[in-house]
A and B are shown apart, each in its own frame.
Chain A
Amino acid sequence: MGFDWRQIWEIASSPDNVPIVALLFLIPFYVWYAIRQGIANDKLIAILEGDAQAAKTKYRKTQPWDPKWDREVHTWPYLMRMEFLVAIILTILLMVWSLTLNAPLEEPSNPNVTMNPAKAPWYFLGLQEMLVYFDPWMAGVVMPTLIIVGLMVIPYIDVNPLGNGYYTYKQRRFSIWTFLVGFIGLWVLMIVIGTFIRGPGWMWFWPGQTWNAERVDYAVNRNLDQVFGIDGSWLAAITHMSKDQAAIWARVIFGVFPTVLFFIGAGFLVHWICMRTEFARKMYKRMSLVQLITMYTFLILMISLPIKILLRLVFTIKYIWVTPWFSI
């Protein structure tokens, strides 16, 4: 079993995967591009913070500046020529792309022949990958809702007035790290895993491994209560429940503890991160109670994803709380 280059090429060259290959280059580039401008601004900020006179007089941008220049320029032609240029370049790019690469078309749809792997469109592969770690109601419904709502509350919980309208890193460390972890770690990376790593049967294939549909994974996933050997015998002993019933209820009761424990632990972790620097403590004081609760809740839920991934992939634990109605 050598390194299967052919398999990698097959995945990367599949027409619908081209956007992901493009993402692999575009995302690092633009992260670098944004951070680079942020660092340039941070240097300027450091100079201005140390020199009160300069802070009053100096042009507060890294862009070249001459007092003789107008602060504003005419949209036509200075902005619109750029827009037209971009439109032309983009059209040419699309033309070339469309002439050289054909949109995929498989066999006619057939409910009797299941595609293996059956994959969602690439931009939803992050959600499909989450299906490994959460039940469908979490991965397919609750998580997307939380992502959308979570994105929408950002402006209302970010009380930091700095960095409004310019790139910076030092003035917004916490929010930038949070966003990068969410966007790259929990979204783009999941898409990349869903595309390049997940093969037939949604099994984990390292790059270079052949996608062998015959392979059988022997991973035995257990629930947390099984690890602790919860079988409900003590509950049956102190109540009149049957053994089966007691086992179910024992699991329900047991699951509350790790779940609550996680929320408390993650809450402390979030709080610790939020209070690490002088500046962060200052921001903390500016927040209202509603803002704090909202932010902590979303951050805790965000942490739950990597925790579940870790539990599943490293410790082969499936659920931490099993109930007859839902499991997480």
Chain B
Amino acid sequence: MPEENGNKNKTGVLDKVKEDAAALRKTLEEKAKQQVEELKQPEKTQLYRSMFRVKHDDEPRNRALSVLSNVFFHLHPAKVNRDATKYNFTWGMGGITFYLFIVLTFTGVLLMFYYHPTKVQAFRDILYLENDVPFGKLLRNMHRWAAHLMIIAVWLHMFRVFMTGSYKRPREFNWCVGVLLMVLTMLLSFTGYLLPDDQLGFWAVTVGTNMARATPLLGHEGPLGAQLGMTPYNDVRFALLGGSIVDANALLRAYIWHCIAIPLIAAIFMGVHFWRVRKDGGISGPSPVMLESEIKEERSPRPVVLRPSGMGQGG
């Protein structure tokens, strides 16, 4: 019996499998055809829709949504002043500065793979980068020149903002944030100068930090410094260098300021800076010219009401 039963079962299962296979063979072709057909419209797939939430057909709604629903693009408003898209008003200097910051972060991270902030290794690492690491020289060059370029771009950005009067109400505070960002940019560059541990960086940083000796009150050679008990071993220069001379500790401190602390601080300020550009009413112009005869009598200082988007009209 068991044999019979087993036989019966066996044939039953086999038949079922055969049946299924036949059915599958029939539908598989159709399914495959259908799926290949669907691939011609990738934007309808689940995978695509999970990543991109909006259609990208060329119509106004989608143009706006593609900016607003993308985390990288949503710093932009959906629409801008038509005259502001031309090069001649902004010179693109703020954007160039930010792009250079990204380039510097990217090349900087790659450089960090090859660099040890120690007196024994630092200079050798640069030689290694220049002579043995594939594209190492290009990497270092790009980092160096992008840094120089960033400083120039920051200055020109500030110059443009000044010349268009864009620091005026309601953008006063953002100008201040911008000034701090400029200082941070120069400090970033300066701390990086020491890292190759060559004569150029060493003496530049020596000259630079020697000035810190003379800080009023906090430097041992500064006015009233000695009277407050400042010595070469406890003053502000000592804090900067981690010692009384530019040596191993100074190298490590410069490295950490350069690679971690200042970029973090700068990134926070950048976030505020960009956010405030939007909240202060977007890019300042080119706005319609105002006439002298239209100046209103100055009332007592009005508080500027910040109207976050979604709170009443305007915004």
1/0 per residue, CB under 8 A from B, across A116-134: the answer is: 0011111110011001000
Closest-CB distance, A119 to chain B (whole angstroms): 7
Report yes or no: A118 in contact with B207, Cβ–Cβ below 8 A.
yes
Contacts of A34 in B (CB 8 A): 159-160, 163-164
Residue of B165, B190, B203 touching A172 (CB-CB under 8 A): B165
Residue of B144, B159, B222 touching A103 (CB-CB under 8 A): B144
Query: Is there a chain B Cβ closer than 8 Å to A148's Cβ?
Result: yes
Contacts of B212 in A (CB 8 A): 140-141
How many residues on B have C-beta within 8 angstroms of the other chain's C-beta atoms? 107
Closest-CB distance, B149 to chain A (whole angstroms): 7
Report yes or no: B207 in contact with A128, Cβ–Cβ below 8 A.
yes
| Chain A residues at the B interface, C-beta cutoff of 8 Å | 16, 18-19, 22-23, 26, 30-31, 33-34, 37-38, 41, 44-45, 48-49, 55, 59-61, 63, 69-80, 82-83, 86-87, 90-91, 94-95, 97-99, 101-111, 113-115, 118-124, 127-128, 131, 135-137, 139-142, 148, 151-152, 154-156, 158-168, 171-172, 175-176, 179, 183, 279, 282, 286, 325-326
Report yes or no: A109 in contact with B201, Cβ–Cβ below 8 A.
yes
Report yes or no: B80 in contact with A165, Cβ–Cβ below 8 A.
no
Report yes or no: A30 in contact with B165, Cβ–Cβ below 8 A.
no
Closest-CB distance, A8 to chain B (whole angstroms): 20
- Of residues 55 through 105 on chain B, the ones whose CB sits less than 8 Å from some CB of chain A are 60, 63-64, 66-67, 73, 76-88, 91-92, 95-96, 99-100, 103
Chain A, Cβ-Cβ closest to B70? A76
1/0 per residue, CB under 8 A from A, across B127-149: the answer is: 10010000001101111111011
User: A23-B152, A162-B290, A165-B286 given as contacts; is B81 within 8 A of A75 (CB)?
Assistant: no
Contacts of B208 in A (CB 8 A): 120-121, 124
User: A124-B190, A171-B292 given as contacts; is B211 within 8 A of A30 (CB)?
Assistant: no
Report yes or no: A115 in contact with B199, Cβ–Cβ below 8 A.
yes
Contacts of B66 in A (CB 8 A): 76
Contacts of B165 in A (CB 8 A): 162-166, 168, 172
Query: Is there a chain A Cβ closer than 8 Å to B241's Cβ?
Result: no
Report yes or no: B92 in contact with A164, Cβ–Cβ below 8 A.
no
Report yes or no: B223 in contact with A325, Cβ–Cβ below 8 A.
yes
Report yes or no: A108 in contact with B81, Cβ–Cβ below 8 A.
no
Additional 9 contacts, C-beta under 8 A, given A30-B91, A78-B85:
A31-B159, A63-B83, A83-B95, A86-B92, A103-B140, A124-B208, A154-B167, A162-B295, A164-B284
Contacts of B96 in A (CB 8 A): 86, 90
Contacts of B76 in A (CB 8 A): 75-76, 79-80
User: A74-B78, A110-B199 given as contacts; is B164 within 8 A of A165 (CB)?
Assistant: yes
User: A101-B145, A137-B215 given as contacts; is B80 within 8 A of A79 (CB)?
Assistant: yes
Chain A, Cβ-Cβ closest to B56? A76
Chain A, Cβ-Cβ closest to B185? A123
User: A78-B80, A136-B211 given as contacts; is B168 within 8 A of A158 (CB)?
Assistant: yes
Closest-CB distance, A201 to chain B (whole angstroms): 13
Report yes or no: B199 in contact with A74, Cβ–Cβ below 8 A.
no
Report yes or no: B189 in contact with A167, Cβ–Cβ below 8 A.
no
Report yes or no: A141 in contact with B222, Cβ–Cβ below 8 A.
yes
- Of residues 255 through 297 on chain B, the ones whose CB sits less than 8 Å from some CB of chain A are 284-293, 295-296
User: A23-B152, A60-B289, A101-B141 given as contacts; is B63 within 8 A of A113 (CB)?
Assistant: no
Report yes or no: B289 in contact with A44, Cβ–Cβ below 8 A.
yes
Closest-CB distance, B202 to chain A (whole angstroms): 3
Highest count of chain B CB atoms <10 Å: which of A22, A115, A166: A166
- Of residues 179 through 227 on chain B, the ones whose CB sits less than 8 Å from some CB of chain A are 179-180, 183, 186, 189-190, 193, 196-204, 206-208, 210-216, 219, 221-224, 227
Bound-complex Cα distance A74 to B67 (A): 9
Bound-complex Cα distance A111 to B210 (A): 14
Report yes or no: B295 in contact with A33, Cβ–Cβ below 8 A.
no
User: A45-B289, A115-B200, A123-B151 given as contacts; is B172 within 8 A of A141 (CB)?
Assistant: no
Bound-complex Cα distance A16 to B192 (A): 14
Report yes or no: B193 in contact with A121, Cβ–Cβ below 8 A.
yes
Residue of A118, A137, A154, A282 touching B223 (CB-CB under 8 A): A137
11 A-B pairs in the complex with CB atoms less than 8 angstroms apart: A61-B286, A71-B82, A72-B79, A78-B82, A123-B186, A140-B211, A151-B179, A152-B179, A165-B285, A168-B289, A175-B162
Query: Is there a chain A Cβ closer than 8 Å to B28's Cβ?
Result: no
Bound-complex Cα distance A82 to B88 (A): 12
Chain B, Cβ-Cβ closest to A131? B211
Report yes or no: B214 in contact with A141, Cβ–Cβ below 8 A.
yes
Closest-CB distance, A111 to chain B (whole angstroms): 7
Report yes or no: A156 in contact with B164, Cβ–Cβ below 8 A.
no
Report yes or no: B159 in contact with A183, Cβ–Cβ below 8 A.
yes
Bound-complex Cα distance A279 to B295 (A): 11
- Of residues 19 through 66 on chain B, the ones whose CB sits less than 8 Å from some CB of chain A are 60, 63-64, 66
Query: Is there a chain A Cβ closer than 8 Å to B126's Cβ?
Result: yes
Bound-complex Cα distance A16 to B245 (A): 25
Query: Is there a chain A Cβ closer than 8 Å to B115's Cβ?
Result: no
Bound-complex Cα distance A124 to B298 (A): 40
Chain A, Cβ-Cβ closest to B247? A111
Query: Is there a chain A Cβ closer than 8 Å to B176's Cβ?
Result: yes
Chain B, Cβ-Cβ closest to A35? B163
**Shortest beta-carbon contacts, A-B, top 3:** A140-B211, A165-B285, A165-B287
Chain A, Cβ-Cβ closest to B198? A106
Report yes or no: B146 in contact with A94, Cβ–Cβ below 8 A.
yes
